[in-house]
Structure 1
Amino acid sequence: MTSNTSVAVEISPSLPAELRAQVDGEVDFDLGTRAAYAMDSSNYRQLPIGVVTPRTIDAAVAAIRVCSRRDVPVLSRGGGTSLAGQSTNVAVVIDWTRHCRRLVSVDAAARTCVVEPGIALDDLNRQLSGYGLMFGPKPSTHRSCTIGGMIGNNSCGATAQAYGKTVDNVRRLEVLTYDGERMWVGPTSDDEYAAIVAEGGRKAEIYTGLRRLRDSHLAQIRTRYPDIPRRVSGYNLDSLLPESGFDLARALVGSEGTLVTVLQAELDLVQVPTAKAMVVLGYPDIAAAGDAVEAIVKHRPWQLEGLDQVLLELETRAQLAGTALDELPQGSGWLMVQFAGDTQQEADDRARALMDDLAGREHAPQMTFLDDPAGEERLSELREAGLGATAHPIGGHENWEGWEDSAVPPERLGDYLRDLRRLLDDFGFDRNTTALYGHFGQGCVHTRIPFELRTADGVRHFRAFLEKASDLVISYGGSLSGEHGDGQARGELLTKMFGTEIVGLFTEVKGLLDPKNKMNPGKVVLANPLDRQLRLGPDYSHAEPATYFSYPRDEHRFSKAALRCVGIGNCRNSSSEDQVMCPSYMVTRQEEHSTRGRARLLFEMIRGESITDGWRSTEVRDALDLCFACKGCKSDCPVNVDMATYKAEFLAHHYEHRIRPMAHYSMGWLPLWAALAGRAPGLVNRVTHAPGLSGLIKKAGGIAPERELPAFAAEPFTRWWRNRTRTAGGGSRGPVLLWPDTFSNAFHPGVARAAVQVLEDAGFEVRVPREPVCCGLTWVSTGQLGVARRVLQRTLRVLRKEIRAGVPVIGLEPSCTAMFRADGPELLDGDEDMRRLSKQTRTLAELLTERAPDWEPPQIPVNALVQTHCHQHAVLGTDAETDVMRRAGIEAKTLPSGCCGLAGNFGFEAGHYAVSRAAGERVLLPRVRAADQRTVILADGFSCRTQIEQGDTGRTAVHLAELLAAGLEGNAWGGERPEQLMAERPSSTSGPTGGTSSEPAEERS
């Protein structure tokens, strides 16, 4: 049943050319693209032959026909989040996600829809929300998993408790065989079968062959398939039984692209629940929680999830738990039981009925009732964060999949959990990092295990455990896979579960539909051994590079940081409603321009097998080129991949002893140029904005010609501060050091002046550094890390007295503030003054909230649209700003826009304008244009304000400090923006003098 390893594939050099000639879409055989697709979320790695991104379904058909003529293997790929290795292969990858993602049609009355395979689940459900409908199954990767991928893997998720697996929600499929037969398939009546047979041809051959195979194995199909809710392993040949309607569509669900390519799908839909209520049950341990499942299932919950104490401890260490822990009752094992209803009363009544039932039983659990949507969502996210928390446990060995989703009859779950824990103990796996959790209502258990996959002994240990674990789950009448499919991880073990006769039948079905074994070969049947093609393995070897950053979360090793991504794919979210990452993917929808794709290339660079030139790699450089360095992934990625830091590190080495792009000298050294320009800002502005000369300056500086160069202020903040008349005595709340960042000093000094006014009104003694200082941000973002270190070290010397006295340092520009809080300590690892500075640095709002909670801000009853700076989102947080705005009476609405698109130097660099502008046009710029003229646009980041100003919005955004100062100036907000609000705000539209525009304030806003 097993083959040795993947068969080497001889590829004609003319294949890419023929594909380009025949296919409407992108055809990429370059090393960078291939490296981005070499892995999925599993332990496996196979470099593909090439990648085709078809623009239409017909284009995909054309691509497969070209591959068929040349006997080239094909892999149809969805979101690439598979955990069993089914999305990685030596094949031509068909990536549906960029273009083939339409909701083709909806029949609301019949509750059905037709979709293309590349549509992501969340995107589909957003489009269906207007009908009050949704696709029922919801895996934890719902942001990025595609319907095609869900069909391939027979995906489930928490809501399968109510709606079943994907197979239970598929009505018909349009499929293509490798040899070119394109057909719609579904349930087949005897009359329809007779008509197909009478028509003859390849379709008739497939149907008659399948019926023959079915009829010759009826007894085995009826008896060898476990009768449990979460049997995902194997082909769904039980769907071909007469009592199942000879449903070829459902038989193909879960076949992982090994039999056919899915072109379109007709899906059954369900009504979106109107109301939900949750009961959280606490038990002494996770096995006791498993024992309780049988009784709870009788109450027909919408979801029934389990999690143990180990998972919560790992999430707490990784700062993923948040406030959700407050909702949990006492215990060491928990069940989250959610009920849905047409009304809140119905949902609540069902939840309380469960509580009454359990309260009357012996050993009743501790119970918490929730009907607060926010609280329920926090707990659901707590469960969904499991993969992120367990993959890289802080202080422990990294954990791997392999036995990720076994399933047993729910009534036997408690005993299975005890035996599984004993087996883990027998193999010496750390209890403190090996969590047990999952979809307990259907007996499905998730875990990641600290396998040692770098040594021969470790790989043998890995195999031995899987052999024993498979014996264990089969002894319980369970399934090797209860959610993620077989792929390579479990394909080799299917004989244990089904027996040789049924597995032989799988092989015959494969031979009927794919006689050349070219559809995702080596997966499910004729499977590659489970311990081959590992992404690590005994031959994994690399030299550990010396780095500038210290990577404290990765044992101070860049190689471990490059291995951090586990492929969940949240960075491939096409909407930024709840996250900032990944703006370049949101615009381009290309894998290599996602955080995950870049992480894959960095891993390949470290591995040194496909990408052999290390830091000098042009493939890695090109993939990182469109990284905005927004740091959104630092907080939004479940495993906290920090691509902005990795990019800076790479650039530092890539350009070492080499000429850099001109933008690195112009934008990277901006603090120096700003300091020089501050001596004669009017003259500099006239030169940089002079017709003809401006274009030459931008070309020489590597700046996008479409961009307007920001104008320097007539008077930098630090000069104004030196010349300011100050009253004797200090504030009653003590001293603070206001940080004069380059942007608030040289371009928008009104922000810093406003901050002085607010701080003094709040009772602080404001100080400003006596010498020029800089955080080094622009040198970091351009990868000039040696310079950045020296700049930071000089700053620490200048500020040493205040730092060691514990004086708070107040940052106004979020990126500079985040530099002190995050990048600085990693760049100057071990420097005590840097560590102190990181802990003493505050935003204005944080200081006001923490040190002046009794300060009464001016009342400013206005509506405000808030654009959150990426670094604020990723590093600093916004709770304090939200609190200050609430106290000031500001009705603030935060835009779900993610990155503004300018992202510091990124949007100014030549070649980036189109992507930068497209990112802004996703949400931010249209929403600003549509805002009422009396709505204030708030943006604390200089980049965000500049993008808004240069984005044809006709609006000027302001800093929170400016809005608060304006309120103080007017004592009350009368509805018109005071002239003071826009003081010293030069722009490209304010003329070349560096002074303030003479336009009325309301028009300029």
Structure 2
Amino acid sequence: MDDQQADTLEQDLLAEVDGEVRFDAGSRAAYATDASNFRQVPIAVVVPRTIEAGASAVEVCHRNHAPVVSRGGGTSLAGQGTNRAVMIDWAKRCHRLLEVDPAERRCVVEPGIVLDDLNRELAPLSLRFGPEPATHPNCTIGGMIGNNSCGATAQRTGKVVDNVSRLEVLLADETRFWCGRTTDEEYAEIERHGDRRATIYRSLRHLRDEYADDIRDRFPDIPRRVSGYNLDSLLPEYGFDVARSLVGSESTLVTVLRAELDLVPVLPERTLVVLGYDSVAAAADAVPALLRYDPIALEGFGERLIHDEQIEHLLQDARGDMPEGNAFLMVQFGAPHGQDADRAAHAMLRGQGRLPEDPDVALVTDPAMEDDLWAVREAGLGASAHVPGEPDAWAGWEDAAVAPTKLGDYLRDFEALCQEFGYADDAVPSIYGHFGQGCIHTRIPFRLTDVDGVRAYRQFMEQAADLVVGYGGSLSGEHGDGQSRGELLPKMFGDRIMAAFVELKTTFDPENLMNPGKLVAPAGLDENLRLGASWSPHVKGPITFDYPEDGGFVHAANRCVGVGLCRAPEPKADDVMCPSYRATREEAHSTRGRARLLFEMMNGHGDGPITDGWRSDAVKGALDLCLSCKGCASDCPVNVDMATYKAEFLHHHHRHRLRPRAHYTLGWLPMAARSVAASRSARIVNRLTGIPAVRMAGAKLAGVENRQVPKFAAQTLQEWWSERTARGSGERRTVLLWPDTFTNHFDPQVGRAAITVLEGAGYEVQLPREAVCCALTWTSTGQLDVARRVLRRTVRALAPALHEGWPVVGLEPSCAAMLRSDAPRLLPDDLDVRRLAQNTVGFAELLQEHTDGWSPPDVGVHEALVQVHCHQHADGGWDADRALLANAGVEAHSIGGCCGLAGNFGFEAGHLEVSRACAEDRLLPALRDAEDSVAVLADGFSCRTQIAEFDDSGKHPVHLAELLAEGLISRMPHNE
């Protein structure tokens, strides 16, 4: 498509489509890759407001002869979610549950609805949509239909194709109809009309009759045949089901507008049994005997997955609950009521000659523990993709399937093949998957950046296809064929069936406008690679941060594997990632979208939409709404640290140029606070910022939002300390309390409370006499040269304490995280910076984990809501806080999510709306719903500031130190 054609297409889309039509570089870059090895920059991205608007977009594209591809969650692993086409993103707005018929157990949905959202809406009816892939928090029903998704629950409920009743579909030529099972009478009525739909049905009937015997002969009779088109659904024995024949067609035949789905009852009673085995092949050998007991899920994984998770410090508590063994089967039983699930589990164990007490058995009935153990299995993709110290592993041959009775032998031969190609030493790469249905997931350490590596990748894929076909299996058992396996389908189906596939494609899409180059006439499996032998990324200038786990910024920017958990509309309870996506529902404002733009910024193929490197306004725009919360550093399966990447980008983007005024106003806040303190002008400044007109003018001048300005303290913590009589003696262990800018200049009462508690716990507390700073505000605004200077000055001032090994106690979680995580990456060769990082501990960590013979006081409350600071969540979590509060008699619950202020973010001009939306996501509703007797804890200054401005419930958040100090003081015989 040349520039003139693109201009005409853009004008027509803008004129006729009710939605967002985007031809800009940033949007195209964000959608250039799915979760696969492939990359194709789309022509444009369309986000329709309604189903009818999406249909209009397809019609405009047909008129302009522009190819089209639909996109759901963007998590496809075979390349079917990326193309040089107009990308229609249904997920942002077309996500409604339209109808539910509980009696018939059916519902009608729009294609953009996320699976977990659908099941949450269905929960009051005790119904759910059965198939549940590992991406259930963020995958869409439309995407699941496109890929014929499955998941662990398919053991009970089957694939998506087994759970679709009817589909409303739109062809590229604007033909539109509902379809499903078709009786002879219904077929005759359709044909009688003589229209385009009649022609299609006539062609399908002919195709069925012509190839029926070939279909029955060549389609593997196994639970997980996902490869190819579902021609078997057209056979008479399956009711000539046109809808099900279109499931798994990967947007190559039709656009799905609405879907009528079959539902299954929720099984509330669950029992999980985890069995240990000597090897993953031995575990596979045991599967057929276990299937006789009708489990609702039967998953397996090998020791290598546990090894990878250990290296990455994932799920340590859950891994500790695993039984003995080198490989494991997770056998789950379910029942509608009573103890039926538990009885089935015990019957299975008896049949295997095992006991619940055996060391290689774990019998689990506690739902929380069960969820933890399932997390070990579901972490497979993230845990195996980027293992520190090992080659990166890639998709490609990640979901082949054979009959469960052949699984053990297949795995032994697969291991030998991996060893032959040098992809394994003593064992295959991480193996996990749906053993009960013979479907195996793995990621292979293909070398995709050199000619020999790409050549070996092709040879391996060809031989792996021969292997699985030799076992009567399917190239894909869950993820679809796309570009990864489309070229290999003739090995599995033969010439006759491949001719039938071409006929089916031609019937629905004679102009080849629907996701071309996938499945039929596919691009080669080594074409359109995201990396490839010619990939040559360009990053101008020296990189500022150290990226020790990535070997540099280039690899860090390519860390995202596309699984899309950052797009989950309803993340796990304590998760933070990704607040800006949750506020905007924009791909470019998700962690994944930003990672894609950074990847495109390096222009490794020379044909990317972003050609101006660090100066790119498209990348800057995507990063602008990143709160630098660091939630992704812990919640992302591969620990993408977008806050660090943003700081790196801003450093280069603004280098030798004037910055936004807010960067000076907020980035240099520590210096401004110090000046206010030195000039004794706190009261004057507070009085002026309290006058609305003055505050508004000052905000405009400073380039910040017109928000309530935190009040400066009349006396800083360090000033108060210098006037205070020293407590303690040399026999006590000394700790250095870190006087961060926020505690020192705005909330010194937090520091005073902390000193009271620390001294009560037996410590001698010291404070630096001179000004020190962790450089957080300069780092978050990308002023990294200044940040380095500030850090060097700080460690010089602290050197005596660091050399003595004093613990450095952080009260402000963001500053503690800066000292422990970012500072050593900014100055990796400075030994005192390393010492500071190693010595820094959080307030609760010191008291709970490093203090013997002390217990916290009774604080007079029994329940607390805790807004855990995002940086604390990413930097070790709040387990110590929770345990400390429990010892004080307080049952603490994390609110979860980000407060929305996030340091400087919420004050920067243009961020107020998103900042407030983040607060309204979880924080503010939780405060409104809380009883007055519940304490509210927020150790982060930003969190307390956000609550003070936006909370209308009257709650007053306090720091943990204040709560404990109040308890200590109340039990003293007299106040000191």
Asked if TM exceeds 0.5, the reply is yes
Instruction: Please list every run of 5 or more consecutive structure 1 residues that lacks an aligned counterpart in the other structure.
Output: 1-6, 981-1005
Does residue 169 of the first structure (1) align with residue 168 of the second (2)? no
Aligned to 1:714: 714
Match of 1:259, SS? coil
Distance 2:88 2:479 in 1: 20
Distance 1:306 1:322 in 2: 19
Aligned to 2:729: 729
Aligned to 1:988: none
Match of 2:958, SS? coil
State the one-letter code of the partner of 2:248.
G
Distance 1:704 1:554 in 2: 37
Distance 1:930 1:82 in 2: 39
Distance 2:889 2:460 in 1: 60
2:115–2:139 Cα contact (<8 Å) kept: yes
State the one-letter code of the partner of 1:787.
V
2:266–2:336 Cα contact (<8 Å) kept: no
CA shift digits 1:768-806 (9 cap, x unpaired)? 011110000000000001111111111111111111211
C-alpha deviation, 1:111, in angstroms? 1.4
Distance 1:601 1:827 in 2: 23
1:820–1:838 Cα contact (<8 Å) kept: yes
Does residue 603 of the first structure (1) align with residue 599 of the second (2)? yes
Aligned to 1:480: 475
Match of 2:429, SS? coil
Distance 2:728 2:311 in 1: 48
C-alpha deviation, 1:10, in angstroms? 7.3
Aligned to 2:832: 833
After superposition, where does 1:855-934 map in structure 2 within 5 Å? 855-860=854-859, 861-896=861-896, 898-934=897-933
C-alpha deviation, 1:15, in angstroms? 1.5
Aligned to 1:434: 429
C-alpha deviation, 1:943, in angstroms? 0.6
Aligned to 1:768: 767
2:821–2:837 Cα contact (<8 Å) kept: yes
User: Alignment RMSD, CA only?
Assistant: 1.7
2:225–2:476 Cα contact (<8 Å) kept: yes
Aligned to 2:443: 448
C-alpha deviation, 1:283, in angstroms? 1.2
1:9–1:90 Cα contact (<8 Å) kept: no
C-alpha deviation, 1:442, in angstroms? 0.4
C-alpha deviation, 1:848, in angstroms? 0.6
1:859–1:972 Cα contact (<8 Å) kept: no
Distance 1:333 1:890 in 2: 40
After superposition, where does 1:48-447 map in structure 2 within 5 Å? 48-343=42-337, 345-359=339-353, 366-431=360-425, 434-447=429-442
Match of 2:274, SS? strand
CA shift digits 1:742-768 (9 cap, x unpaired)? 111111111111101111111111110
Distance 2:112 2:639 in 1: 26
Distance 2:771 2:670 in 1: 10
Aligned to 1:983: none
Aligned to 1:787: 786
In structure 2, which of residues 499, 505, 512 is the aligned counterpart of residue 504 of structure 1? 499
Match of 1:966, SS? helix
Distance 1:386 1:534 in 2: 23
C-alpha deviation, 1:952, in angstroms? 4.1
State the one-letter code of the partner of 1:80.
G
Distance 2:932 2:339 in 1: 43
Distance 1:805 1:534, change over 3 A: same
Distance 2:313 2:128 in 1: 32
State the one-letter code of the partner of 2:965.
A
Aligned to 1:1001: none
1:744–1:813 Cα contact (<8 Å) kept: yes
In structure 2, which of residues 482, 505, 529 is the aligned counterpart of residue 534 of structure 1? 529
CA shift digits 1:192-211 (9 cap, x unpaired)? 11111112211111111100
Q: Which moved more, 1:692-701 or 1:642-651?
A: 692-701
Scaled by the length of structure 1, what TM-score is found?
Answer: 0.94
Aligned to 1:682: 683
Distance 2:578 2:528 in 1: 29
C-alpha deviation, 1:218, in angstroms? 1.1
Distance 1:365 1:337, change over 3 A: farther
Scaled by the length of structure 2, what TM-score is found?
Answer: 0.97
CA shift digits 1:275-321 (9 cap, x unpaired)? 11111111111111111111111111111111111111011101113
Distance 2:537 2:808 in 1: 42
1:314–1:433 Cα contact (<8 Å) kept: no
State the one-letter code of the partner of 2:590.
S
Distance 1:429 1:10 in 2: 47
1:277–1:344 Cα contact (<8 Å) kept: no
Distance 2:242 2:253 in 1: 12
Distance 1:360 1:386, change over 3 A: closer
Aligned to 1:940: 939
2:68–2:85 Cα contact (<8 Å) kept: yes
2:927–2:951 Cα contact (<8 Å) kept: no
Aligned to 2:586: 590
Distance 1:543 1:208 in 2: 54
C-alpha deviation, 1:327, in angstroms? 2.2
Distance 1:342 1:12, change over 3 A: closer
Match of 1:820, SS? helix
Q: Which moved more, 1:338-347 or 1:588-597?
A: 338-347
State the one-letter code of the partner of 1:715.
Q
Q: Which moved more, 1:825-834 or 1:546-555?
A: 825-834
Distance 1:311 1:91, change over 3 A: same
Distance 2:226 2:886 in 1: 50
CA shift digits 1:710-766 (9 cap, x unpaired)? 110111111111111234625x55111111101111111111111011111111111
Distance 2:12 2:338 in 1: 59
Aligned to 2:576: 580
2:433–2:441 Cα contact (<8 Å) kept: yes
Distance 1:689 1:930 in 2: 30
Does residue 696 of the first structure (1) align with residue 687 of the second (2)? no
CA shift digits 1:661-689 (9 cap, x unpaired)? 00100000000001111232101212333
Match of 1:14, SS? helix
CA shift digits 1:141-184 (9 cap, x unpaired)? 11111000000000001111111001111111111111111111
2:288–2:405 Cα contact (<8 Å) kept: yes
1:542–1:606 Cα contact (<8 Å) kept: yes
Q: Which consecutive aligned stretches of 4+ in structure 1 deviate over 6 angstroms post-superposition? A: 7-10
Aligned to 1:996: none
Instruction: Please list every run of 5 or more consecutive structure 2 residues that lacks an aligned counterpart in the other structure.
Output: none
Match of 2:492, SS? helix
2:733–2:763 Cα contact (<8 Å) kept: yes
Distance 2:81 2:92 in 1: 16
Distance 1:863 1:330 in 2: 38
2:539–2:613 Cα contact (<8 Å) kept: no
Match of 1:406, SS? coil
CA shift digits 1:72-102 (9 cap, x unpaired)? 0000001000000000000000000100001
Match of 2:270, SS? strand
Distance 1:720 1:116 in 2: 62
C-alpha deviation, 1:9, in angstroms? 9.4
Distance 2:18 2:975 in 1: 56
2:858–2:888 Cα contact (<8 Å) kept: yes
Distance 1:255 1:397 in 2: 33
Q: Which moved more, 1:323-332 or 1:881-890?
A: 323-332
2:802–2:835 Cα contact (<8 Å) kept: yes
- Give me the identity figure in percent: 57
Distance 1:645 1:840 in 2: 22
Distance 1:839 1:728, change over 3 A: closer
Distance 1:748 1:472, change over 3 A: same
Distance 1:86 1:360 in 2: 44
The count of corresponding residues between Structure 1 and Structure 2 is 964
